[in-house]
Structure 1
Amino acid sequence: MSLANKTTLATIKHDLEGYLGKKISLRANRGRKKTMERTGVLEQIYPSHFLVLVSEENYQRRLSFSYADILTETVELTVYSNDDKKIPFSVS
């Protein structure tokens, strides 16, 4: 992995840290024309991945994604502001 990619992944992680505990919406490409769209809360951030807590009808589950998923656009995130406005997450 090149140095540019390492710093980009660190930038994504740093940018996500500001949204801990916030409501987010995600769209994940699962391959073969399968996409998953969920809304949840950014729960935890780890060195190589992050967790989103998704509440569905009768249960909660945690979804794990890597920062590389955002970099390769496999996962698209949208962050909700305090007044429920959607703000697309982009790599700065």
Structure 2
Amino acid sequence: MAGKNALLDIRRTLEAHIGQRIVLRANGGRKKMIERTGILEQTYPSVFIIKLDEDRHAFKRVSYSYTDILTENVELTVCKDGKDIRITYPSQ
């Protein structure tokens, strides 16, 4: 049950940042990290959606699960008021 609560906590944390600029670093395999920037567009029960900056990326949107944050396969940083807030679990 603790795992389910962790995912809910991550979702609630992200919901507070909908519409804000996000820097996303994802594990691209073979020791590669993929960095993308965009706006946190929406959260759903199992995934969250980021609308990517159109001029920098081939895709318009990407989605990741909350489990990706929990397992540290994805690192999210919210850029708000000149401060960078890293989204982690447990919340710091």
Distance in 2 (alpha carbons) for counterparts of 1:89 and 1:77: 5
Consecutive unaligned residues in structure 2, runs of 5 or more: none
Distance in 2 (alpha carbons) for counterparts of 1:4 and 1:41: 29
Is 1:50 the counterpart of 2:48? The answer is yes
Consecutive unaligned residues in structure 1, runs of 5 or more: none
Offset, 1:86: 1.2
| Structure-1-length-normalised TM-score | 0.88
Describe how 1:10-89 pairs up with structure 2 within 5 A: 10-57=8-55, 61-82=60-81, 84-89=82-87
Q: CA RMSD for the aligned pairs?
A: 1.5
Q: Which amino acid aligns with 2:13?
A: D
Distance in 1 (alpha carbons) for counterparts of 2:10 and 2:37: 19
Residue 56 of structure 1 aligns to a residue in which SS? coil
* More off after superposition, 6-15 vs 49-58: 49-58
Q: Deviations along 1:54-76, whole A, 9 cap, x unmatched?
A: 01327661010000000000000
Offset, 1:34: 2.1
Query: How many residues end up aligned between the 2 structures?
Result: 89
Q: Deviations along 1:68-90, whole A, 9 cap, x unmatched?
A: 000000000101112x2212112
Q: Is the 8 A contact 2:70 2:88 kept in 1?
A: no
Distance in 1 (alpha carbons) for counterparts of 2:19 and 2:61: 13
Q: State the identity %.
A: 51
The ranges of structure 1 where at least 4 consecutive aligned residues each deviate by more than 3 angstroms after the TM superposition are none
Match of 1:7 among 5, 8, 13: 5
Residue 11 of structure 2 aligns to a residue in which SS? helix
